[in-house]
C-alpha cells in the first residue's frame, strides 16, 4: 500500500521514550511521543473505536486490549513493518503512542488505513514530553 503524499514526513519521530526496568519489577518509560489523529467530522468515542477496531481487524495487525481501563487501549504489532506501538481512543481522537523501537512506517501505515476506512479527513498533531 502506498502512503498518501506527505504522510511519511508527518510521522517523523522527534524523540523516543526510554525503556527502564526498575529493580522492583515491571517496565517504565521516560519521555513520550504521541501522534494524535483527530477526525474532521464529529465522531463519538464509540464511532472512532469501531473505526480503529475495523482497521486493526482487516489489516496485517496483531493486537490486543489486555488492560482494564475506562478507554480502549491496544498494543499493536504491524506485521508488515514489524513496528509495535500503542493505540488509544480518547475524546474522539486516536492516539498513536511511540515505543522505543517504533518506526515511522508503521505509524504512517495505520494512518493510511484509517483514512481509507473512514469518510473523513484527519488532522495529525505530534506531542512530545521528555
Q: What pLDDT was estimated at residue 27? A: 85
CB under 8 Å, gap of 24 or more: what pairs does 58-66 form? 58/113, 58/117, 59/110, 59/113, 61/110, 63/87
Greatest Cα pair distance in the chain: 48
Q: At the top level of CATH, which class does the domain 33-129 belong to?
A: alpha beta
pTM of the model: 0.85
What would the pLDDT profile of 50-61 be if each residue is shown by its tens digit?
999 999 998 788
Amino acid at each position: 500500500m502506498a502512503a498518501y503524499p506527505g504522510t511519511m514526513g508527518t510521522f517523523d519521530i522527534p524523540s523516543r521514550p526510554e525503556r527502564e526496568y526498575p529493580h522492583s519489577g515491571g517496565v517504565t518509560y521516560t519521555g513520550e511521543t504521541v501522534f494524535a489523529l483527530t477526525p474532521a467530522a464529529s465522531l463519538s468515542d464509540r464511532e472512532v473505536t469501531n473505526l480503529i477496531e475495523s482497521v486493526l481487524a482487516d489489516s496485517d495487525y496483531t493486537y490486543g486490549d489486555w488492560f482494564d481501563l475506562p478507554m480502549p487501549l491496544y498494543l499493536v504489532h504491524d506485521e508488515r513493518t514489524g513496528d509495535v506501538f500503542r493505540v488509544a481512543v480518547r475524546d474522539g481522537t486516536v492516539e498513536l503512542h511511540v515505543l522505543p523501537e517504533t518506526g515511522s512506517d508503521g505509524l504512517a501505515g495505520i494512518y493510511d488505513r484509517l483514512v481509507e476506512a473512514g469518510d473523513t479527513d484527519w488532522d495529525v498533531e505530534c506531542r512530545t514530553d521528555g
